[in-house]
Amino acid sequence: MPDLISRFSSRNHRLSHVFLKDRLKGAETYDRIAGYFRSSIFDLIHEEISTIGRVRIVCNADLDPRDLTAATLSQKARDQAQVERWHEQGDEVDALLERPRWRRLHELLTAGNVEIRVVSRDNAPFLHGKAGVITRPDGTTSSFIGSINETANGWVQSYEMIWEDQSPEAATWVRSEFDWLWKKGVPLSQAVIDEIGRTANKIEVQVEEMQSDPVGLAKSVTVESPLVRRGEGLAPWQKAFVKIFVEHDQKYGAARLLLADEVGVGKTLSMAATGALSVLMGHGAFLILCPATLTLQWQMELWDKLGLPSCVWARAPQKGWLDHRGHLYRSRDPDDVLRCPAQIGIVSTGLLVRGGPEAQALLRGTYGMIALDEGHKARVKRGIGMDEPEPGKLYQAMERLAGRTRHLVIGTATPIQTHREEIWDLMKLLAYGQDHVLGRPSASRWWDSEQALDLVSGRTAPPEPEAAWPWLRSPLPHAREAAVFRAIREDLKVREDEFFTDRGLADLDDFTREDLAEVLEMGEIARKLPFMRYHNPLGRHVVLRRRKTLEEAGLMDRIAVNIHPRPSTSPAVFERGAVRTPHFYDRAYEEVQLFTKAMKARQAGTGFLGNLMMQRICSSIASGIATATKMLERRREGILAEEAEDPDLLEAIEELGAEAYAAAVDVEAIHLERVLEILSSAKQEDPKGRAVLHYLDQEGWLALGCIIFSQYYDTARWVGELISETHPTEPVAVYAGVGKSGVLLGGEWRSIDREDIKRGVKERKLRVVCATDAACEGLNLQTLGTLINVDLPWNPSRLEQRIGRIKRYGQQRREVDMANLVYSGTIDERVYQRLSERMQDRYDILGSLPDTIEDDWIENIERLEAELKSFTKPESPADVFSLRYGDFLEVGDGDADWELWTKVVSRRDIETLLERPWGSGR
């Protein structure tokens, strides 16, 4: 009887030949417990593996089990976790030098006979006990154990030992271990397999080679961006926006677009990707205009997600351009604002509002593309008693800049705030210098906003060609938009790059006139719309994708939000859904009311100071003390840098001016001094602190992971310190602006980079994060399942942004919990009561609320109640322009190959091109 047990050692044999190849020849199945999944896993046995009927390999993944659990995660989320881990252990040099091996591996993984599963670190922290079972056609087996990995290095170079046992008992034992791990594992992500194939076939290209294919160039510069390497990538609707941008550039010679995607859909990345593409196409510099508090946020997203360097025009502590590495290029004269050291420059809209020599210099510049974020702030004022609409300072500046750029993209989730004409004001900005948007001002009816909006909304509809012709001739739509427009252009011999004709209907061919009459009568049958409601400037130039639409299409997860406190919640902490307040707080609040009233009675422009103090004391006692102190110190210029976490304060002071600000505070200082005296001498704790601890401890939210939001750094830091003090072994992160982020442990503070905090949350080392609104964009906290709003922004759109931090791809729970904390008896409580009455849909809690709430609504609760009762989401014109671009598939469904794109522009080349200063040649 032959020996059933054999022993092998690297000292005496080449294990890959004397054991593995020999045993696998003619095998029927091969089950293997390996180590980490590596590109060389089948390098030495490629031919043998390809002939085996079934090969199953189980490998380490070093992933948290919650990143692999099919019951709680979407497939997209599981793919992200595996792709990110694959890239973390990737080797670019190996991928180049061993390209044939990578190609062979991809062939095996897609052949159909090989299946690989990965197990989490909890099930197998490290698969050190490696083993395998080889089964032959006659039913005999060869089982082996040893420390050897299923890699070329393991079989050829490492010192390894193998113990082989050909008995049926050995096969049964090894299979039982394998089967246990196999059931615990999940299939190797198809996204990882695709990435192996892409890497095996990728080639490096130069930007110039790709300029004839702009969408291809966009793929080439994003396919290996940090976002993709983290397993995320651009969302389908963001890729679609790139295609829309390119389509407009090719059709019209310029892209003029209003990006009105709902909050939380990701407008920043859409604008960033198109702006970078514009630069790389050689169109010129990319200028980003946004509120002051979003400048560093923009810079962070550009670098952290897309790997794009940029510079921010900074005012404090020193004036100049600040690059993404923190280096400051100091300014010596106002024209330095036109000498940005990088092709992407980010400037605060406050610079344009204040005016001055730097603003004037910026208005003299020429640009390839301008992106205006928070575009609704470029307002034209309308109101009772005003003879004519009055453009604001930002709007006036944008009127001038619109004519100095090729591309203009305006981003806002609220293109209509109080008047429907506001969306047309933004359309006019897009139209300056570009006749294809609204036509020639002297010869187009589209410049009359009232008539245009009546037509777009369906209130009026031209019944026959004679009535429609003045609307169609300027701008004359592109031939690709509809067959009837192609016929009109051919009849009148209008070139593709011209969008006006002074000829009349009589010059059209009889058949063309008949076609026009027919489409006007029948309308867009497939869309059940009148012809002119679909074919108009709004439909062409406004892009809107709604979250609900994306959820229904399966592109975003549908997650319910449970709102707290509930009626039965701890009566010791809450009353009527609000936080009980002690007597000393009520006294301080009365003083703030007096201060607010006094500020509103002064000259126009100072009322915001009262609102500011009111919002701060409604946030927390710590914030009330800090704000009163800062106001009394009258820090003029210093306050601009110090209050960077408060967008309202920063922008309002920029408009008011430091001197007027100081003078207003001086006169009413007595109220602030009393507030400080009352709050500082109080012995009782802030009741909101007890409310936070109630949810973390009594409701079990700490175990689920919790993000705690405030509008203000003072409040976020106070909450973090409170939790750290009461939970000394729990690390608590504070996620805020540059230089203000860190982790508290046992009350000890340690400054930590924001990227490290995000990584700690993702790896579940951090379960509690206290964050400010200004820093939250780009913060993906799908591993946290609960949210506490220590204070409530009065604008629902900001609340939506907070919810969007946890209501994301990969959220562990199908339902998340949100607690809203307001002090009893305050303006916050009254506002929240009115809002909460409308927050009934758990899947769309803000769907029945306006995106913004005006200040005068807040001051008059009866007015707020009336406005909310009468509010309905506008069906028109929003739903009209969502029809064209609302479904990204209408733009083309070829983006499936975006992550598989093999033509790659190197990160070094991208950085080199984008780190050229403005005005430099290629």
Helix axes 190-201, 75-88, angle to 10 degrees: 40
The pLDDT of residue 375:
92
CA distance readout (Å), 196 to 95, 101, 107, 297, 819: 9, 11, 10, 33, 44
pLDDT level of residue 878 (50, 70, 90 thresholds): very low
Average pLDDT over residues 724-739: 90
Spatial CA neighbour of 69 closest among 202, 194, 231, 185: 185
Rounded mean pLDDT, 640-663: 55
Same domain? 746 vs 635: no
| Residue 277 within a domain | no
The domain tally of the chain equals 3
Higher pLDDT, 285 or 868: 285
Please state, rounded to an integer, the average pLDDT across all residues of the chain. 81
Is it the case that residue 69 has pLDDT exceeding 80? no
**pLDDT of the residue at 292:** 82
When comparing pLDDT for 39 and 25, which is higher?
A: 25
Residue 726 lies in a domain: yes
Q: For residues 108 and 62, give the distance between their C-alpha atoms in angstroms, rounded to a whole number.
A: 23
- Give the per-residue pLDDT at 888: 44
Other Cβ atoms closer than 10 A to 389: 15
Of 814, 843, 872, which residue sits at a domain end?
843
Q: Which pLDDT does position 650 carry in this prediction?
A: 57
Which tens digit of pLDDT belongs to each residue from 443-463?
A: 899 999 999 988 888 888 888
CA 283 to chain centre: 26
pLDDT at 643 over 80: no
**What is the rounded distance in angstroms from the CA atom of residue 304 to the CA atom of residue 608?**
35
pLDDT at 922 over 60: no
Q: What is the mean pLDDT of residues 270-288?
A: 97
**Minimum mean pLDDT among 57-71, 228-242, 631-645, 807-821: which range?**
631-645
Residue 666 structure tokens: 């001086």
Strand intervals (E) in 311-419: 311-314, 320-323, 328-330, 344-348, 367-373, 380-381, 390-391, 405-411
pLDDT-above-70 percentage for the chain: 77
pLDDT of residue 302: 94
| Mean pLDDT along residues 108-137 | 82
CA distance 86 to 194: 12
d(C-alpha 727, C-alpha 177), whole Å: 41
Is the pLDDT at 569 greater than 80? The verdict is: no
- Amino acid 59: pLDDT: 85
- The reply to whether 569 falls in a domain is no
More confident residue, 347 or 659: 347
728 and 674 within one domain: no
Q: Is the pLDDT of residue 13 over 90?
A: no
Of 843, 873, 888, the residue that ends a domain is: 843
pLDDT at 562 over 50: yes
Lowest mean pLDDT among 556-560, 623-627, 712-716: 556-560
* 769: pLDDT strictly greater than 80: yes
* pLDDT confidence tier of residue 416, bands split at 50, 70 and 90: confident
Which CATH number do you get for residue 812? 3.40.50.300
**How far is C-alpha 106 from the geometric centre of its chain's CA atoms?**
32
pLDDT over 90 at 891, yes or no: no
Structure tokens at 657: 């001016």
Please determine, for residue 156, whether its predicted confidence score (pLDDT) is greater than 70. Answer: no
Mean pLDDT lowest among 297-301, 532-536, 741-745, 870-874: 870-874
Residue 692 · residue 719 · CB < 8 Å: yes
Parent domain of 45: 5-197
* Numbers of helices and strands, H then E, in the chain: 44, 31
CA 726, CA 853: separation in Å to the nearest integer? 37
Mean pLDDT of 603-620: 74
- In the predicted structure, residue 875 carries a pLDDT above the cut 70: no
DSSP structural state of residue 167: S
Sort strands 256-259 and 286-290 into parallel, antiparallel or unpaired: unpaired
Q: Is the pLDDT of residue 559 over 80?
A: no
Average pLDDT on 405-432 reads 90
Both 633 and 694 in one domain: the answer is: no
Confidence of residue 835 (pLDDT cuts 50, 70, 90): low
Q: Please state the rounded mean pLDDT for residues 409-435.
A: 89
Q: Are residues 832 and 697 in the same domain?
A: yes
Same structural domain for residues 18 and 150?
yes
Residue 269 within a domain: no
Q: Is the pLDDT of residue 379 over 70?
A: yes
Q: 341: which 2 tokens?
A: 């050291």
Is 828 inside a domain boundary? yes
Q: Which stretch of 736-745, 777-786, 807-816 has the lowest confidence by average pLDDT?
A: 807-816
Question: CB atoms < 10 A from the CB of 111, how many?
Answer: 11
Same domain, yes or no: 142 and 121: yes
Whether 151 is covered by a domain: the verdict is yes
Task: Give the pLDDT of residue 846.
Answer: 42
For residue 17, count other CB atoms closer than 10 A to its CB: 12
Q: What is the pLDDT of residue 2?
A: 55
Q: Give the model's pLDDT for residue 158.
A: 65
CATH at residue 24: 3.30.870.10
At 831, the pLDDT band (50, 70, 90 cuts) reads confident
pLDDT, tens digit (0-9, with 9 covering 90-100), for 332-378: 999 999 999 999 999 999 899 988 999 999 999 999 999 999 898 89
Find tokens 């996204």 and name the residue.
191
Which of 165, 181, 197 corresponds to the end of one domain? 197
For 469-527, write each residue's pLDDT tens digit: 999 999 999 999 999 999 999 999 999 999 999 999 999 999 999 999 999 888 776 66
Which is more confidently placed, 22 or 543? 543
The confidence score (pLDDT) of residue 848 equals 43
pLDDT at residue 146 in the model: 77
73-85 per-position pLDDT tens digit: 556 767 777 888 8
Are residues 790 and 673 part of one domain? no
Torsion angle of C-alpha atoms 412, 418, 424, 430, degrees rounded to 10? -30
% residues pLDDT > 90 (the chain): 41
**Nearest of 237, 188, 213 to residue 58 by alpha carbon:** 188
* Residues 610 and 663 occupy one common structural domain: yes
- Rounded to 5°, the CA angle 572-575-579 comes to 80
Residue 52 sits in the same domain as residue 174: yes
* More confident site: 424 or 652: 424
Does residue 93 sit in the same domain as residue 160? yes
> Is 751 exposed, middle or buried, given 0-12, 13-18 or 19+ CB atoms closer than 10 A?
exposed
643 CA to centre of own chain: 24
20 and 151 within one domain: yes
Put residue 739 in one of left, alpha, beta given phi > 0 → left and psi -120 to 50 → alpha.
left
Total-model pTM: 0.80
Residue 287 has pLDDT above 70, yes or no: yes
Q: Is the residue at 205 inside a domain?
A: no
Confirm whether 779 is domain-assigned: yes
For residue 873, pLDDT over 50 is answered with: no
Residues 702, 832, single domain; the answer is yes
Write down the pLDDT at residue 11: 67
Strand bridging mode 578-579 / 768-772: unpaired
**In angstroms, rounded to a whole number, what is the distance separating the alpha carbons of residues 36 and 188?**
12
Q: Which amino acid is at 892?
A: G
146: helix, strand or coil:
strand
Long-range contacts of 847-850 (CB under 8 A, 24+ apart): 847/548, 847/873, 848/872, 848/873, 849/796, 850/417, 850/796
Least confident stretch, 489-503, 581-595, 686-700, 796-810: 796-810
pLDDT tens sequence across 693-723: 999 999 999 998 999 989 889 999 999 999 9
